[in-house]
Amino acid sequence: DAGVIQSPRHEVTEMGQEVTLRCKPISGHDYLFWYRQTMMRGLELLIYFNNNVPIDDSGMPEDRFSAKMPNASFSTLKIQPSEPRDSAVYFCASSPRRVVWDRAYGYTFGSGTRLTVV
């Protein structure tokens, strides 16, 4: 399995522009998570999906952020309009429904998208 695949790896954009981050979870995983990592705040959960349905979006910072999961193999995180304070590394992670002992709920992180908003 190729693991969790995120694109792009790096994104540099100007303030005010729309940014779309993409994630392909591991096949068969029922849960998908979007995290944001910054030096100041560490890793923060933004939103997670179960079977393509958003379950908890309480971590989404503002209405400028939105996430979708149109099918089991694809999710997007969109920021519109982007601001410099959105600069961070955005991670996607997926997990199978069944907890596997000693496998941390099967959490597998993607390699992340480093977003820079100038």
Partner 1 sequence: EDKVVQSPLSLVVHEGDTVTLNCSYEVTNFRSLLWYKQEKKAPTFLFMLTSSGIEKKSGRLSSILDKKELFSILNITATQTGDSAVYLCASGSARQLTFGSGTQLTVLP
From CA 10, how far away is CA 87, in angstroms rounded? 11
Closer residue to partner 1 (CB): 82 or 95 = 95
Interface stretch with partner 1, choices 13-21, 64-72, 77-85, 98-106 (CB under 8 A): 98-106
The DSSP secondary-structure symbol of 98 reads S
Torsions phi, psi of 81, nearest 5?
-85, 150
**Structure-token pair, residue 86:** 């959105």
Closer residue to partner 1 (CB): 62 or 102 = 102
Choosing from 47, 91, 113, 115, the residue that interacts with partner 1 (CB under 8 A) is 91
Closest by Cα among 63, 68, 79 to 20: 79
Tell how strand 113-117 and strand 10-13 pair up.
parallel
Choosing from 19, 23, 79, 110, the residue that interacts with partner 1 (CB under 8 A) is 110
Binding site for partner 1 (CB under 8 A): 4, 31, 41-45, 48, 50, 55-56, 91, 95, 99, 101-105, 107, 109-112
